[in-house]
A and B are shown apart, each in its own frame.
Chain A
Amino acid sequence: MSAPNIANCSLRELRTLLDENKISAPELAQLFRARAKQYSHLNAFLRINENDDYHPAAGNFLDSLPIAHKDIFCAQGEKTTCGSKMLAEFVAPYDSTVVENFRNAGMNTIGRTNMDEFAMGSSGEHSAFSASRNPWDENYVPGGSSSGSAAAVAARLTPVATATDTGGSIRQPAAFCGVTGIKPTYGRVSRWGMVAFASSFDQGGVIAKSAEDCALALSAMAGFDERDSTSLPQPAEDFTRQFDQPLSNIVIGVPKEFFSDGLDNKVASRVQEAIRQFEKQGATIKEISLASVKHAIAAYYVLTCAEASSNLSRYDGVRYGFRPTENNDSDLTTMYEQTRTQGFGAEVKRRILIGTYMLSYGYYDAYYRRAMKVRTLIARDFEQAFTGCDVLLGPTTPSPAFALNAIADNDPVAMYLQDIYTVPVNLAGLPALSLPCGFSGALPVGLQLIGAPLAESLLLSVAHEYQKQNDYHLQMPAGVQ
């Protein structure tokens, strides 16, 4: 079997190749490492491991299969930069639970993927190191913040990659890159050792080619963790357990607010085609309304910027991270200021300043408290929707991928509106996934499925049934063979 064919294999197919001794574990990892180097101009990886990085876990389904980690998850003794100059030289003193879980499953880490700095961005252009490129058209962005993870899976540089989603950072790049990505229920995946952005939103998940691969990886990744105070007391589970059930008992809600004026026509058409496909497969389609989601973007940016301004106050040049070498004899305040001014990029500084304003005296009630109340309204809307629906469906993004540098640095609003269909889910803490549903020209289009709390296995099974009927998730970018 040729290298591109192996690179396009599912996790089950790779498992079979290993079990039948058609390829060895080191050969498999070497194949993906070589591809990661061959396509290094995509800037999907920040670092590629030179050697195997795994401990065999005989009998585990994922044993010896390659994985790449978003550079937000700490791995003991390794750099974890979070896409920032602030952490450019930071060497993690311990493993994140996510890295530990995949290590225990025997997975072989092939490298660390690029990302928007501190997971703040929707294009991959806000990495302090390099902007990742979209494998479907290298002049286009891969989305963000899990830019490298999505680009790496799309270019078949790894079969699966970890990612995180605070407001769409798994689903939006998955949509732009034509791959499948799941953001689990808040609390499903431990945040221990995952660099914080907005703690009441941040959630780890995975990006892979298919819903099945996502389910297999998530089964090893999720589970209760004593070290994360918001970890849900749910045991590990097999997220493929509801697979291969017909969709005839499934009611899919389609929120009319997700088809607003700003939605690209071709994206709308692909999503409508997907709706018809689900109908053909026996699902019942029902139009619903989520009246409060129109306030979601505003509430999301108030709350996440506020949490970010607090979380990122830890970067003061004292305990870890960047500290300028000049002005070392200056006073403490100047040292703090120079550390933060030189260490953070423009978008991170902007969000810190917005958050500082939201939490400042006189504005707390008008913005922060009000946004928390809107959060309640949005969560209630979803709760109500799930009384009559099993799954909600809509576009993942308002448009396909946009060109690199198309949204100016000084136009944050245009960038923030990219998240219009993804942030409501994070406000309510729900599980959601994006899967490819066709193309707009040469660029992939993403379909979003949203589930009730803890309904990941249902979501993944519905996505799997859809993917049995088409091959969008198996198509490789023309420039990547």
Chain B
Amino acid sequence: MALTRQDIQKLAQLARLAQNPREEEDTLKSLNAVLGLIDELKNADVDNVDPMAYVQLHGQTLRTRAPAAVAGYPPEQLMQNAPQADENHFLVPKVIE
């Protein structure tokens, strides 16, 4: 099923991306082309197959280590890249009127 312009607008809104009408048209064409490629998945026989979200090698489970507290980084160090900050707080446009 091909995507429509309305679908593209909805996806862009969900992904927080703005597009002008020409960009929307380009996106529509290229996403439909990619979906054409991806639709090939329908040909795969996946009955009774378990999904694999992560590679698991020889039964190794990768998330069984107990969490351990470690020293973090000083807030000043982590705040140095903040686009707008004030006294180790991130500043954003006013949210509450």
Chain A residues at the B interface, C-beta cutoff of 8 Å: 89-91, 93-94, 185-187, 200, 226, 229-233, 292, 294-295, 297-299, 301-302, 309, 316-323, 328-338, 340-341, 344, 349-350, 352-354, 356-357, 360, 367, 369-377, 379, 410-413, 416, 428-429, 453-454
Asked if residues A376 and B63 are in contact (CB atoms below 8 Å), the reply is no
Asked if residues B90 and A318 are in contact (CB atoms below 8 Å), the reply is yes
The B interface is mostly helix, strand or loop, or mixed, namely loop
Asked if residues A377 and B49 are in contact (CB atoms below 8 Å), the reply is yes
Asked if residues B93 and A332 are in contact (CB atoms below 8 Å), the reply is yes
Residues on B with beta carbons closer than 8 Å to the beta carbon of A298: 37-41
Q: How far is the CA of A431 from the CA of B72 in the complex (A)?
A: 33
Minimum distance in angstroms from B95 CB to a CB of chain A = 6
Cβ-neighbour of B37 out of A230, A328, A357, A413 (below 8 A): A413
Asked if residues A317 and B54 are in contact (CB atoms below 8 Å), the reply is no
Give B12-61 interface residues, CB cut-off 8 Å to A.
12, 14-19, 26-27, 29-31, 33-34, 36-44, 46, 49-55, 57-58, 60
Residues on A with beta carbons closer than 8 Å to the beta carbon of B7: 357
Asked if residues A337 and B40 are in contact (CB atoms below 8 Å), the reply is no
Asked if residues B33 and A356 are in contact (CB atoms below 8 Å), the reply is no
Q: Knowing A295-B41, A297-B37, A416-B37 are in contact, say whether A320-B81 is a contact too (CB < 8 A).
A: yes
Minimum distance in angstroms from A427 CB to a CB of chain B = 8
Residues on A with beta carbons closer than 8 Å to the beta carbon of B84: 323, 328
Q: Knowing A321-B81, A335-B93, A416-B34 are in contact, say whether A377-B46 is a contact too (CB < 8 A).
A: yes
Minimum distance in angstroms from B18 CB to a CB of chain A = 5
Q: List 29 A-B contacts (CB under 8 A).
A: A91-B81, A93-B80, A186-B55, A297-B40, A298-B37, A298-B38, A302-B41, A317-B83, A318-B83, A320-B81, A322-B83, A323-B84, A329-B93, A331-B93, A337-B17, A341-B19, A350-B31, A353-B15, A353-B27, A356-B14, A356-B15, A370-B42, A373-B50, A373-B52, A374-B44, A377-B46, A379-B52, A453-B57, A454-B57
Q: How far is the CA of A330 from the CA of B93 in the complex (A)?
A: 6
Residues on A with beta carbons closer than 8 Å to the beta carbon of B2: none
Cβ-neighbour of B17 out of A185, A340, A413 (below 8 A): A340
Asked if residues A319 and B51 are in contact (CB atoms below 8 Å), the reply is no
B77 contacts the other chain (CB 8 A): yes
Residues on B with beta carbons closer than 8 Å to the beta carbon of A376: 49-52
- Give the residue name and chain of the A residue nearest to B12 (CB): A353
Asked if residues A375 and B18 are in contact (CB atoms below 8 Å), the reply is no
Further contacts, 7 of them, CB under 8 A, given A353-B17, A377-B46, A410-B30: A229-B62, A232-B62, A297-B40, A298-B37, A298-B39, A350-B27, A412-B30
Cβ-neighbour of A93 out of B14, B18, B52, B73 (below 8 A): B73
Q: How far is the CA of A379 from the CA of B58 in the complex (A)?
A: 12
Asked if residues A352 and B46 are in contact (CB atoms below 8 Å), the reply is no
Which of B8, B60, B93 has the most chain A CB within a 10 Å cutoff? B93
Asked if residues B33 and A375 are in contact (CB atoms below 8 Å), the reply is no
Residues on B with beta carbons closer than 8 Å to the beta carbon of A454: 57
Asked if residues A357 and B93 are in contact (CB atoms below 8 Å), the reply is no
Q: What 1/0 flags go to B61-86 for Cβ under 8 Å of A?
A: 01101001000010001101111100
Residues on B with beta carbons closer than 8 Å to the beta carbon of A292: 44
Which of A331, A341, A428 has the most chain B CB within a 10 Å cutoff? A341
Residues on B with beta carbons closer than 8 Å to the beta carbon of A295: 40-41, 43-44
Q: How far is the CA of A314 from the CA of B42 in the complex (A)?
A: 32
Asked if residues B81 and A332 are in contact (CB atoms below 8 Å), the reply is no
Q: How far is the CA of A203 from the CA of B73 in the complex (A)?
A: 25
